[in-house]
Every structure is written in C-alpha cells, then in structure tokens.
C-alpha cells in the first residue's frame, strides 16, 4: 500500500514539502530580523514576503507550464 504514495504525485508532494520548509525558514529569519531591529522595517518585511510569495507562484506556474509543454511535445510526436 505504501507504494501508491510514491506515484505520479510524488513530485508535487516534494515541491510542497520543500516550499513549506522554505516558508518556515523565511519566517524564522524574519522573526530574527524583527528581534534585532524591532519595528523599523516591518514594511520591508511585508514587501519581502510578498516578493517571495510572488516568486514562488511564478516558479510554480513556470514548472507547470514546462511539464505541460513536455507532455504536449510527447503527444504531438510522430
């Protein structure tokens, strides 16, 4: 039964796990920065969070489109 977990969804789960780990690390770094600088750069932190979220979405969209292109190329092969 455990083999079904490592099916075609394994890559998606791997990406989600790594993304969550990256978010946790970023949050820890931001808390450390806030502890040292208090509330002087909260706007910068918010901008960085939005930028990271945007980059994550762009990376995910590029990955999905790349997989779709490769699938389309395989389907339209000779």
| 30 in Cβ contact with 49 (< 8 Å) | yes
| Greatest C-alpha distance within the chain | 62
Residue 72 has pLDDT above 70, yes or no: no
Residue 3 has pLDDT above 50, yes or no: no
Contacts of 42 (CB under 8 A, 6+ apart): 34
Residue 37, pLDDT score: 67
* 30-67 tens-digit pLDDT: 777 777 766 665 677 777 887 888 888 888 888 877 77
Residue 9 has pLDDT above 70, yes or no: no
pLDDT at 28 > cutoff 70 = yes
In contact, 45 and 30? CB cutoff 8 Å: yes
Structural domain boundaries in the chain: 10-71
């Amino acid at each position: 039964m455990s083999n079904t977990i490592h099916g075609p969804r394994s890559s998606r789960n791997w990406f989600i796990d790594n993304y969550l780990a990256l978010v946790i690390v970023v949050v820890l770094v931001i808390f450390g920065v806030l502890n040292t600088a208090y509330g002087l750069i909260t706007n910068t932190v918010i901008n960085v969070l939005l930028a990271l979220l945007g980059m994550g979405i762009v990376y995910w969209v590029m990955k999905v489109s790349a997989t779709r292109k490769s699938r389309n190329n395989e389907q339209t092969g000779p």
